[in-house]
Amino acid sequence: MPLPVVLALALLLVGGGAAAAVPPAAPARGAGIGSVESEPFVAGGAAVGSPRSAVSAPPAHSSSSASTASGWAWPVSPPIRVRAPYRAPEHPYGPGHRGIDLDAAFGSEVRAPASGVVSFAGMVAGRPVVSITHGDGIVSSFEPVAGTLAAGDEVAAGAVIGTVGTVGHCEDCVHLGVRVDGVYVSPLVFLGGLPRAVLLPLE
């Protein structure tokens, strides 16, 4: 048998065949669900700024509808702009940004992204906060959002839960946080702003 053919067969056997998959790279330290995101973007338009090299730009969303493929709805009215993205901390008490900041004018309505039960409505560190339990260990929180809801109230998806207040960590914005079983994750996991994993064919 010619030497080139022998070498080719040996490489094929060692590599596991033509269908062998390349093992995925290990996730970065502290990475979790939605722990890596693009830069702030406008839903229904192009990304604002250059996306980080680790991920592609998030898919565009239609500004004519606040509904997303996951069934969650954006809590503020279009046009949707994520002013500050989620940044996962390396450990539970480490620095990070445990949610996203959405552009929203003072006094504008904030709506429930999905149906659930109000688990908290009150002041936290001088800011009005509303939290909704959606089931399956999922809790969404909004600040600064003030309204007339009380703990135990049921809310439907899209129902008004309050209006944007003035006291917050950014001007004219709403901070949206999402926890799953007590752990903060990116709200864009539910709102459709993270790129989807795609299986590529083997060459």
Measure Cα distances from 130 to 1, 13, 16, 111, 176 in Å.
Answer: 75, 59, 54, 11, 10
Predicted confidence at residue 12, as pLDDT, reads 40
Q: What angle do CA 123, 135, 141 make, to 5 degrees?
A: 25
Whole-prediction pTM: 0.64
Predicted confidence at residue 95, as pLDDT, reads 79
Q: Per-residue pLDDT tens for 22-52? A: 333 333 333 344 443 444 444 544 333 333 2
DSSP type of residue 49: S
Structure tokens that stand for 56 in this block:
């592609």
Closest CA to 77 of 164, 184, 195, 178: 164
Could you tell me which CATH number the domain at 28-191 has? Answer: 2.70.70.10
Strand, coil or helix: 5: helix
Predicted confidence at residue 68, as pLDDT, reads 54
Predicted confidence at residue 144, as pLDDT, reads 95
